[in-house]
Amino acid sequence: MSKTTSNTKKKLKKEVGMVGFGKMGGGMALHLLEKGWRLHGYARKPEVARKFAHAGAHMAPSLSAVVKRLSGPRVFILMITAGKAVDDALFAKDGISKNLQKGDIVIDSGNSFYKDSIRRGARLKKLGIKYVDLGFSGGPYGARTGGCLMIGGDKATFVYLEPLFKDLATSDGYRFFEGVGAGHFAKMVHNGIEYGMMQAIGEGFEILKKSKYKFDLKHVAEIYNNGSVIESRLVGWLLKAFKILQVLLHIQYPEEIILFGRLLSIHGVLLQAELQIMPYRGGKVQHRLLVVRLLQYAQIQILLILQKLYILIVMAHRLQLQII
């Protein structure tokens, strides 16, 4: 096995190890497989391991087994829940650092706190292992088709890994920021801006709804998102939410029915919805949206596309129907 101390003069092999096959990591894995990468992975759940093995990944029974299957210098991607899970994957008894060697590279593509990234980078540096912090924006759709990458670490390692980042990103959708933790810091600020924008949109539409005017909020969202200075993906998602509700709330059922698992396709992203239809009362079908259950967090503190749609749908639902 190679004990190379420098990667800068070597060409990156299209081979990576990976742990974290949720909605984000799973999308990234499938995207890399389609781009011709040889991917070795580990998943705790057998059904997940089978799924990605069927898709072409080389799944291993443990983290250490993944590392041992890689040829040096190794590149290992983490896309798991921020916090203790990352430390365990790196430094626990079966952690990957126990089997990595000098010159190998770890990429934390989750939403880790930047100070944790600095600490982990320093600890790995003592072992001669490179650490790259990668802030990934774009949600499951971006993970599957190409996202927005904010990359921290050292410049030489970034240059070496650039073919990988190019394949993970949307067109021209990646940038390097010098210093370990810089990528996750940039993503942290990005999230703060995003949440502030969502709050402003929600409050603005609530004011519209409560005003003396009879605004059609879907029409307002349409015009806001067509050439105005607040035109944005977030306003576009709110518009989609209003349109979804418009479809759902015009469905008529002759009896009490509970529909679980209604699948709605939005630009290839499947929403898993639950709709409860209440029985006839006074000749009318009363119904209310119980929950739009979107796929679970693949990463703590990341508001995925599906979760954004969930929030916007619920917000639209409350504004339109005033349902408790």
Catalytic residue among 130, 187, 240, 308: 187
Tell me if 124 sits within 8 A of 106, measured CB to CB: yes
Q: What is the amino acid identity at position 147?
A: G
The span from the CA of 133 to the CA of 18, in Å, is: 15
Residues 6+ apart with CB under 8 A from 24: 79, 110, 136, 139, 140, 143, 298, 299, 302, 304
Tell me if 268 sits within 8 A of 141, measured CB to CB: yes
Please confirm, yes or no, whether 206 is among the known catalytic residues: no
Catalytic residue among 194, 206, 222, 274: 194
Q: Tell the burial category of 264 from Cβ atoms under 10 Å away from its Cβ (0-12, 13-18, 19+).
A: middle
Strands (E), the chain: 15-19, 38-42, 58-59, 75-78, 105-108, 130-137, 147-153, 169-178, 257-266, 269-281, 284-293
Longest dimension (CA), the chain: 78
Please confirm, yes or no, whether 194 is among the known catalytic residues: yes
Q: What token pair was written down for 254?
A: 């002759």
Among all residues, which ones are annotated catalytic?
A: 187, 194
